[in-house]
Amino acid sequence: MTAARGVRLLERDAPLAALGSYWAEALTGRGRLVFLGGECGAGKTSVGLEFGRRISGRGRFLVGACDVGATPRALGPLTDVADALGLSAQLEHPEVHRASLFPRVRAARGRRPTLLLLEDMHWADEATMD
């Protein structure tokens, strides 16, 4: 699924350029939420991973994924990035309030530019969607 170093993704210049302009804004403190949509197999993951490769050295790139299937892991995408953000203990605490988790993720990134790619959100569990 990943684009190999030096391999150009075909017909992906426009979305990669748009992501580049959004990243430039984020570096000035104006972050945003971007959704990549498309049919299964359209290349959303490849675009996200390629862009993450391109920003290497200019920020942190984290990937969290929702589980495919009938019983996804609770807070799967956050669990995937918890160690990198220093939030593992908070996620494991049984009384953590779900509504506080995404603000904690934002706070944990600090002032370091961070690209958080959340994969397969259509499979997200209820806790992640909350």
Provide mean pLDDT across the span 52-60: 91
- Angle between helices 76-85 and 101-108 in degrees, nearest 10: 30
Nearest CA to 120 out of 79, 53, 69, 56 is that of 69
Q: What is the pLDDT of residue 117?
A: 93
Question: Is the pLDDT confidence value at 45 over 80?
Answer: yes
- Identify the pLDDT of residue 3: 47
Alpha helices in the chain (DSSP H): 13-27, 44-54, 76-85, 88-92, 101-108, 126-129
Within 10 angstroms of residue 100's Cβ, the number of other Cβ atoms is 11
Q: Across the chain, what does the average pLDDT equal?
A: 85
What is the distance between the alpha carbons of residues 26 and 23, in angstroms, rounded to a whole number? 5
Q: What pLDDT is recorded for position 8?
A: 67
pLDDT at residue number 70: 76
